[in-house]
Amino acid sequence: MEVRSIEFKQRASERAIDGSLQGKLKTAKGLFVGGRARAVARFDAEGGDFEALRDVGRGIRDEVLDNLDVWLETFERNATARGATVLWARDGAEISRLVVEIAQRHGVKKAIKSKSMLSEEAGLNEALEAVGVASIETDLGEYIIQLAKEPPSHIIAPAIHKNKEEVADLFEQHHHKPRKTEIAEMTREAREVLRSHFVSADMGITGGNFLVAETGSVALVTNEGNGRMVTTMPKVHVAVVGVEKVIPTLNDLAALLRLLPRSATGQTISNYVSLLTGVKSEADRDGAEHLYYILVDNGRVGLVGSEFQEMLRCIRCGACMNHCPVYQTIGGHAYGWVYPGPMGSVLTPLYTGLDKAPDLPHAATLCNQCGVVCPVKIPLPELLRKLREKQVQTGVGTATAKAERRALKLWGFAARNPRLYAFGARIATRYLKWLAGGKDRIQVLTMVPEWTKGRDFPAPEGKTFRELYAQRAARRR
């Protein structure tokens, strides 16, 4: 997917004034935030310890990252022993090339997909369509935005920005059936359309919530059952999974499954968890005959051992964006790439380059709501701060950031020379008073106009603090 994070500021301000978007986000927020809180409270009331569970989750993910090469080899060995083919891709282009080749090898005409953020990173649908393979999203939310030709705006509720009228329009236009406006009826119509694809597709493409090294399996978590369909009906299953998703054992899976649904939707467990291992046997009556894993780097390997390694613990639950005041105001599309919210503000610059997403590290109030709810205790605000530091060190940034930096340098120099400082401050306050033109607010701050785009700057009285202090001291004496 094309990275459009450079347009963050413009998109964010457009969306911040879109009242209908905020209405939709608010409903979802109530459900997800309230749901999570209730689920956590219930877990603790039953004698569990959710805080300790978060530490366990964090520990499992850290242990893997410390020995990631060996865990990947272990996974590869066990998956291969069960008849799967393990492939590796360094970037999105390699993912697309491999999937296209697999499709061609098996004469695939139609592929069905269950939600995979990585295939969004790679722009996989476009690559398949370019060689004549239809590629159909089957998660209802993903399906809706595929019809609308839009990117997802939330990692677990991709069509959160659409209301039912917009969905009804899309269905009417694409399904060629009488328009329906009851949500249950619309869902049934989509089920029927997608069912016809499930039974006729030759290839299923999934992501993977976890790869279990011990058994060479992939675990898929869904509520709709599309993850099961996609891996059961077509003869070929391709799982595209980031290298960081491996976990040691089935028991670790059980522990992480206590964290993921509670953090994501407030469910005790998702409706379906499928653990897929190897291919159909001779005697089996259903299931995929061919299983391919594509283990993907696309920026992940570079984070191992870096100051941003902790980000690789992420289990893609979406809690950080559900609890983020910035996300709640601007929605997911403003972030300009696959991942929105706090996790996206960290991941997008790291995976695509700080120069492509210079504003994202600033798209947070550092209120730490995200850090408090993250099931694997990723210190998101701290990582955002580190990204800002890096931005300053490497000199990447917007014109405003550069002007701010110049001004701070100048200030730093002056602050070390008291006389110069007093003189400079005197000039500056008088200049600002002049700029205000007799009013008490400055509408455009000429040096850093960005600062006054959405608000005015209070004008000084025309005297510096030192001058006022000296006056007062004189009066008292």
Q: Which of the choices another protein, ligand SF4, none does residue 181 contact, using the CB cut-off of 5 to 8 A by kind?
A: none
From ligand SF4, another protein, none, which one binds at residue 454 (CB under 5 to 8 Å depending on kind)? none
Size of the site for another protein (CB under 8 A): 106
Site for another protein in 86-105 (CB under 8 A): 87-90, 94, 97-98, 101-102, 105
Secondary structure element (H or E) that encloses residue 29, with its range:
helix 19-45
- Give the one entry of another protein, ligand SF4, none that residue 374 binds, where binding means its C-beta sits below a cut-off of 5 to 8 angstroms depending on kind: ligand SF4
Smallest gap from Cβ 46 to another protein, in A, equals 4
Distance CA 84, CA 292 (A): 6
Residue given tokens 């409706």 in the structure block: 271
* Residue 375 touches which of another protein, ligand SF4, none (Cβ within 5-8 Å per kind): ligand SF4
The yes or no reply on residue 370 touching another protein (CB under 8 A) is: no
- Residue 164, Cβ neighbours under 10 Å: how many? 13
Locate 192 and state its tokens. 């029927």
Residues lying near ligand SF4 in the complex (CB under 6 A): 314-320, 343, 374-376, 378
Nearer to ligand SF4, 154 or 237 (CB): 154
Q: Is residue 417 at the binding interface for another protein, with CB under 8 A as the rule?
A: no
Q: Which of 37, 254, 367, 408 binds another protein (CB under 8 A)?
A: 254
Among 134, 235, 287, 398, binds another protein (CB under 8 A): 287
Identify the CA nearest to 253 among candidates 205, 301, 215: 215
Q: What's the CA gap between 171 and 422, in Å, rounded? A: 68
In this structure, the strands spanning 246-247 and 272-276 are: unpaired
Site for another protein in 62-81 (CB under 8 A): 63, 66-74
- Structure tokens given for 56: 């366990």
Q: Which is nearer to ligand SF4, 137 or 244 (CB)?
A: 244
| Shortest Cβ 322–ligand SF4 spacing (Å) | 8
* 151 φ/ψ angles, rounded to the nearest 5 degrees: -80, 160
Q: Pick the binder of another protein from 120, 121, 252, 359 (CB under 8 A).
A: 252
**Residue 272 binds which entry of another protein, ligand SF4, none, with Cβ cut-offs from 5 to 8 Å by kind?**
another protein
Greatest pairwise CA separation for the chain in angstroms? 102
Binder of another protein out of 229, 240, 373, 380 (CB under 8 A) = 229
- Region from 52-60, 335-343, 351-359, 366-374 binding another protein, contact rule CB under 8 A: 52-60
* 8 Å CB contact between 121 and 338: yes
* Nearest one of 44, 143, 72, 25 to 304, comparing CA atoms: 72
- The CA-based angle 2-99-353, given to 5 degrees, is 30
C-beta of residue 227 within 8 angstroms of C-beta of residue 264: no
